[in-house]
Amino acid sequence: GAVVSQHPSWVICKSGTSVKIECRSLDFQATTMFWYRQFPKQSLMLMATSNEGSKATYEQGVEKDKFLINHASLTLSTLTVTSAHPEDSSFYICSAQISPSGSYGYTFGSGTRLTVV
């Protein structure tokens, strides 16, 4: 149980275009989802926390106008990278709390490899 499905697994886009990444909780309701970015051989960097029905909370240094997050339902959160540039190329992973407090841990999507050319 507690599976998070993330799509697409990889995407290549041209500079200046926008890319949308979806994260769905399949068998539970995810009130809160998290979006991470991971650079090669580095750990996960939290970008933002999305709460269903409200605005996302962005970490310091993350451009909210570039990385648009929408959490319109209890099972779906999306991250849209707008006007993508090569420096946005990275591995993006979503996560959800298995319980509202996180006491039962977190489950992660399979990640999306974004390459901007």
Partner 1 sequence: KQEVTQIPAALSVPEGENLVLNCSFTDSAIYNLQWFRQDPGKGLTSLLLIQSSQREQTSGRLNASLDKSSGRSTLYIAASQPGDSATYLCAVLDDYKLSFGAGTTVTVRA
d(CA 89, CA 32): 25
Classified as helix, coil or strand, 86 is helix
Cβ distance to partner 1 smaller for residue 22 or 82: 22
Binding of partner 1 at residue 28 (CB under 8 A)?
no
d(CA 26, CA 62): 28
Cβ distance to partner 1 smaller for residue 4 or 81: 4
Q: Which of 13-21, 67-75, 80-88, 104-112 is the region at the interface with partner 1 (rule: CB under 8 A)?
A: 104-112
**Taking CA 82 as the corner, what is the angle to CA 26 and CA 15, rounded to the nearest 5 degrees?**
120
Cβ distance to partner 1 smaller for residue 28 or 91: 91
Q: φ and ψ at 87, to 5 degrees? A: -70, -10
Binding stretches for partner 1 (CB under 8 A): 6, 34, 42-44, 46, 91, 93, 95, 101-111, 113
